[in-house]
Copies of this chain bind each other. A is one copy, B any other.
Amino acid sequence: MKQLAISPLAPASFPLLPNIAGMNAATYSLGMYKSDRDDLIVVSFEDGASVGGALTKSNTRSCDVDWCIGALKSGLAKGLVVNAGNSNAFTGAAGIAKNDATLAKFCELSGAKPENIFLSATGVIGVPVAADLISSKLDAIWPNLSKPNWEKLAKAIATTDTFIKGFGKTIEIDGQKINIAGIAKGSGMIAPNMATMLVYIFTDAKISSALLQKMVSQYVETTFNAITVDSDTSTSDTLLVFATNKAGNEIVENSAASRVFADALNECMLDLALQVVKDGEGAQKFIEVKVAGAISVSSAKIIAMAIANSPLVKTAIAGGDANWGRVAMAVGKCLEPINADKLSIKFCGQWVAKNGGAAIYDEGEINKLMAGTDIEIFVDVGMGKSEFTAYTCDLTHGYISINGDYRS
């Protein structure tokens, strides 16, 4: 597959990420790619870390995802191993054998228990790898575990991402600094495979796994579960948040400290989620879809996601067309309660439809706004007071080329 052009929505550069005390990391090249790029990351939390996460609910999820769902229940993380180049999905007994060998070797080197080690993989599916693919390299990798080089870590998990994704923030609670660093990959594509989103966030905050999980579960709904590139769900989607408990006082529920930390975690999750959308396959424009006036948040979400997933809406945006008819169509097809006579739609702040009919607007002005890279769609469905915002990208020839042009 040829090198893809960097997304026009990419940030200017990889941001500065703070160090996280209590974690050591290394990258390695397993040789899964033709180039000699790194394709493995190994992280060790020698003193353990609290952990929370969200994994794909797909019924055909990979055995690595299944493993993480189990490991999350232990409430303690001692390590993380992620490889790119092979997703270990639909590999049956061979996939489990590879994970068992990796876990056994990691435990031998660290003294940890297997249920405290987290595993992820992304890449081709249905292709079994040797059981010792990773385990046979851990002896050599172990002495290299050190202060994380975030850019190298982000690069090692990338597949066809056109830019690497990171977010860093340092907050102060009770005069003590707390650091957050996150990396993500997605939604690139490796033929013959599917898009996968992997996200790892690290913090030195002192917080229980239970509270961390509660925050992750809450914020995932409005961040990673509010984005869509093409409505398809990977078998490997993984979000894990690790807290090494090295900084500050313990963050307890319902405290001022908890709110400050939660806000920063939410900011990190949203920022990385939007970076994933901005690297959506073929993306030329970033689209924010806000639905208001719904009878409930879940109803608003169904409508917002229907708009964000509509190929007709996404191709219209690609063409710079403020096509509110297609938005109205997407609203209608969800069968959620709406008042069609009050349906009102804004593109980039300009009303294009009001109370169930066309609004009078300056077409030249709208066309100028629609030619930009950031498109806002606002829809009031006229029924209630609930809102939800979804994020997506446009649907372009680039998407078809990346996913369909094998024979060209």
- Listed in ascending order, the chain A residues whose CB lies under 8 Å from chain B are 57-61, 89-92, 124-128, 191-195, 230-235, 309-312, 315-316, 318-321, 323-326, 328-338, 340-341, 343, 353, 356-358, 394-397, 399-401, 403-408
Contact indicator A311/B312 (Cβ below 8 Å)? no
A248 vs chain B, min Cβ distance (A): 39
Partner of A396, one of B231, B340, B396, B404: B404
Q: Nearest 10 CB-CB pairs, A to B?
A: A60-B332, A315-B404, A58-B332, A233-B333, A315-B403, A319-B406, A319-B404, A126-B358, A318-B404, A125-B325
Q: Is the CB of A92 within 8 A of B356?
A: yes
Residue of B nearest to A401 (CB): B397
Copies of this chain: 2
By the criterion CB–CB under 8 Å, are B194 and A312 in contact?
yes
A to B CB contacts below 8 Å, 6 in the list: A59-B333, A60-B332, A90-B325, A315-B400, A321-B407, A397-B401
Instruction: Supply 14 further A-B pairs (C-beta < 8 A) apart from A60-B328, A60-B343.
Output: A58-B333, A60-B329, A60-B340, A90-B356, A125-B325, A191-B321, A194-B312, A195-B312, A231-B310, A232-B326, A232-B329, A233-B332, A316-B406, A396-B400
User: In the complex, which residues of chain B have a beta carbon less than 8 angstroms from the beta carbon of A340?
Assistant: 59-60
> In the bound complex, what is the Cα–Cα distance between A338 and B59 (angstroms)?
7
Q: B128, B192, B325, B406: which contacts A325 (Cβ < 8 A)?
A: B192
Which residues of B lie under 8 Å from residue A343 when comparing CB positions?
60, 90
Is B333 a contact partner of A232 (Cβ separation < 8 A)? yes
Q: Which residues from chain B contact A128 at a C-beta distance below 8 Å?
A: 357
Whether the pair B399, A311 counts as a contact (CB closer than 8 A) is yes
Is the Cβ of A315 less than 8 Å from the Cβ of B90?
no
Q: Which residues of B contact A89 (CB under 8 A)?
A: 325, 328
Q: Is the CB of B235 within 8 A of A328?
A: yes
Q: Could you tell me the distance in whole angstroms from the C-beta of A309 to the nearest C-beta in chain B? A: 7
Q: Give which listed residue, B310, B338, B407, contacts A319 with CB less than 8 A.
A: B407
Give, as a whole number of angstroms, the nearest-CB distance from A238 to chain B.
15
